Amino acid sequence: MTHYGYAGNILKVDLSNGKSKRMETADYSDRFFGGRGIAAKIYWDLVPPEAGAFDPENCLICVTGPVAGFNGFAGSRWQMCGKSPFGDREAFSYANFGGKWGVALKYAGYDGLAIQGKAEKPVYVLIENDRVEIRDASPYWGKSAFEACDMLKSEYGKGFSVITIGPAAERLVSFATILADDGSSGSAGLGAVMGSKMLKAVVVAGESRPEAADPERLNDLAAQVREITETAHYEHGLWKVTESFRYQVCYKCGIGCGRHTYKDAKGRKCKSLCQATMFYFFPILAYSGGEDHETRMLGTRLCDDYGLDTAVIHGMVDWLAYCHRESLLNERQTGLPLSKIGGPEFIEALTRMITYRQGFGDLLGEGTIKAAESVGERAKARIGDFVATRNSETKDYDPRLIPMNALIYATETRRPIQTLHESVELLFRWISWANKEENATFSSHRLRRFAERLWGSEEAGDFTSIRGKALASKKAQDRAYVKESMILCDLSWMKIWSGYFAENIEEPALECQIFSAVTGKNVDEAGLNWLGERNFNMQRSVLLRQGWDGRKDDQLMDYYFNQPLRKNELFCDPECIVPGKDGEIVSKEGAVIDRQDFETLKDEYYELRGWDVESGLPKADTFDRFDMKDIADDLNERGLIR
């Protein structure tokens, strides 16, 4: 039987007993269609809510979406989900990867891989079509992520795709990452979960190819996307540091976003992309008075090689610099060369000490917030200058500046970057216009048209009030869960939307047409967003069953309420300018989120989601509408439905 867009099977591997079995993708994809949606449902089925992140029952679920393997749609990314050890509580979380590994899994015949149990000694999983083996990883254990990847690639050949963990994950550093092909990496502390399972790597190859229901239409759509992206103003050179950097898109992306790779001294491909490449930029400027690309790229390479999340190290470096300036920490106390923050010696020492849990590095391995709590009140009081989330992730896209992001942050267990990008992409374009940059045409008027089209009202384009923001947050989330389930790369898709809708504001969205051409299931824009909303509700159910206390836990960090926004606080908008009520240019310097406004937003949002306003818990009839009665029954038995 042909499963258009899908390989047809999900592979389950139990590291405790060495057994593997296949589950049918259709049992999951019929309702949850791919990526995050399928992963949340597999997690729901396999993992008891009381299982801890490092318990064998915790499950690492790697999933692609139906578009993976079809060129031209930036649709071959993949997700890893599971209970994360990181942050203020252990909770279901997720990481989104580029590279080739996800497609390789599909080529091997699997839409997903669920790994449960715990091995007694280091192992790796080898998957080659029907061949599934759990193998001894002793020669690779203790090696860095790049080294282990090199060794496995030279053993199996270039046709195999590899994910590995580094020594930070082996030592259960709470924000340890996983490294995939071409320097791609995934965060949310799921590397530590791999480490807890004694799982060093997963090596995959296969010969299957997914089939589309309507290949001709899919080709036409790819041409349409190409046309849009050719005419949009793409900044393909953004992450190019020197001439030796090569523009290289993820496998089967076909669009691109400025992602570059370069070769390190050993000839390995390393990435240059976005925050991962920029996290040490400002400390370097402050230290050396100028750019120092080598040290900047060294920082990224060290994080990838040890397996540390740059989004956490970013805020941590800034916080350590502050503590040093204010004499809250010194070099003797920490064993870190704090006077050299911005130089190579510091980043080498910091990443090494965290990875090997040496001295002060052991405390830092729990994240910046926990470290600040232990250093003392003054260090803790300024934490809001350095981190944005309960998980110590770096500051960006602040809800004091962009009010629709308040609920987006509050209802997620980690920095939901794929959702945040939506408002930010538009704001960036508008700031260029407000600053009268050459060729910048994204005026307040255009932004308001977009707000109406994407977020449900023109009012949502007024960044100075909460009017229309609950609906805007919900719409952005539902669309993000479509992206995270199909899986479409948000770095490209927001640009596609802005290029497409600019001229075709009433046309049906492209992603629906792509979904239909791949799967053969006809769905319009509202229908696809409805599927995204169901997947969001699925993830919410997993969180509730794990102890997320609805309304009480839908929270922001305190500083958003009591620390006025300062000029130059946010790299994305140093002047804090936003579009106001009538599209005028307004500064939000000094803004805080009003607590009552935030509670009002929650009221509106729960209403829009069909959840109980008082508790933030779902209602049974809402879940009936989403064909999630089985989930509602389980929640009901636990008193988690109204």
Q: Is 489 in the site for ligand SF4 (CB under 6 A)?
A: yes
| Binding residue (CB under 6 A) for ligand SF4 from 81, 148, 212, 253 | 253
Choose the stretch contacting ligand SF4; rule: CB under 6 A; options: 46-54, 114-122, 247-255, 415-423.
247-255
Q: Which residue has the tokens 């993976």?
A: 68
Q: Enumerate residues 388-427 that contact ligand SF4 by CB under 6 A.
A: none
| CB 249, min distance to ligand SF4, A | 4
Choose the stretch contacting ligand SF4; rule: CB under 6 A; options: 89-97, 250-258, 338-346, 631-639.
250-258
| Binding residue (CB under 6 A) for ligand SF4 from 491, 517, 578, 617 | 491
| Binding residue (CB under 6 A) for ligand SF4 from 98, 189, 367, 532 | 98
| Binding residue (CB under 6 A) for ligand SF4 from 250, 578, 601, 632 | 250
Choose the stretch contacting ligand SF4; rule: CB under 6 A; options: 43-51, 231-239, 255-263, 528-536.
255-263
The nearer residue to ligand SF4, 75 or 367, going by C-beta atoms, is 75
The nearer residue to ligand SF4, 469 or 495, going by C-beta atoms, is 495
Dihedral Cα 296, 300, 305, 311, nearest 10 deg? 140
Q: Tokens in use for 512?
A: 């629906």
Q: Is 495 in the site for ligand SF4 (CB under 6 A)?
A: no
Q: How many C-beta neighbours within 10 Å does residue 109 have?
A: 18
Q: Is 276 in the site for ligand SF4 (CB under 6 A)?
A: no
Q: Which residue has the tokens 């994950």?
A: 169
Q: Which residue has the tokens 């590291």?
A: 15
Q: Is 492 in the site for ligand SF4 (CB under 6 A)?
A: yes
CA angle 598, 603, 604 (to 5 degrees): 100
Nearest Cα to Cα of residue 28 among 45, 15, 53, 13 = 45
Q: Is 249 in the site for ligand SF4 (CB under 6 A)?
A: yes
Q: Is 95 in the site for ligand SF4 (CB under 6 A)?
A: no
| CB 370, min distance to ligand SF4, A | 31
Establish how many alpha carbons lie within 13 A of residue 606's alpha carbon, considering only the half-sphere containing its beta carbon: 20
Q: Is 454 in the site for ligand SF4 (CB under 6 A)?
A: no
**CA-to-CA distance for 544 and 517, rounded, in angstroms?**
35
SS3 for 514-540 is HHHHHHCCCCCHHHHHHHHHHHHHHHH
Q: Enumerate residues 125-164 that contact ligand SF4 by CB under 6 A.
A: none
| CB 50, min distance to ligand SF4, A | 36
Question: Residue 128: which H helix or E strand, with range?
Answer: strand 123-128
**CA-to-CA distance for 369 and 354, rounded, in angstroms?**
15
The contacts found for 571-578 with CB under 8 angstroms, 24 or more apart, are: 571/282, 571/396, 572/396, 572/397, 572/401, 572/424, 572/427, 572/428, 573/401, 573/427, 573/431, 576/401, 577/431, 577/434, 578/401, 578/402, 578/427, 578/463, 578/464
- The count of residues interacting with ligand SF4 (CB under 6 A) is 13
Q: Is 74 in the site for ligand SF4 (CB under 6 A)?
A: yes
Contact set with ligand SF4 (CB under 6 A): 74, 77, 98, 249-250, 253, 255-257, 259, 489, 491-492
